[in-house]
Amino acid sequence: MNAYRDQYAQLFKNGRNIVLIAISADPDTALASWARDAEFPFLFASDTGTAVGKLYGAIARFPGLTNRNLFVVGPDGKIAYRATPFREIDPTAYTELGAAVAKLVPADTTAH
């Protein structure tokens, strides 16, 4: 999650026309505390019942563990990119993610 935070502006256009939601099986109170302490600029959702995890194949074969999967959902609601599992320690994974997001979100044409 730190890599997402540290690359948020670049990968996710600083949240412009993008909503990033990290879903975890952890309780919402733990997620809220962690998000606040680590200053994550995106949303967290708690899936303690693992319904979403099961739907997207994130439940590991070992009890209490989940796979780290990543999905980019386009404006049409369809999955435009998937990384199952997401290779968070591989720098090329972020290049691929950035390219997938760039395909869906038009470049910012306003001058700064």
Q: Can you give the residue ranges of every domain in the chain?
A: 2-104
> Per-residue pLDDT tens for 73-82?
888 888 888 8
Nearest partner of 101 among 70, 80, 83, judged by Cα: 80
- Confidence band of 85 (pLDDT split at 50, 70, 90): confident
List the single range of 22-26, 29-33, 38-42, 56-60 with lowest mean pLDDT: 56-60
Residue 58 has pLDDT above 60, yes or no: yes
- Confidence band of 87 (pLDDT split at 50, 70, 90): confident
This prediction's pTM? 0.77
Local structure of 65: helix, strand or coil: coil
CA atoms of 47 and 54, how far apart (whole Å): 10
Domain 2-104 coded CATH 3.40.1260.20: no
DSSP H or E run through 23: strand 21-24
Give the distance, in angstroms, between the CA of residue 30 and the centroid of all CA atoms in the same chain.
Answer: 18
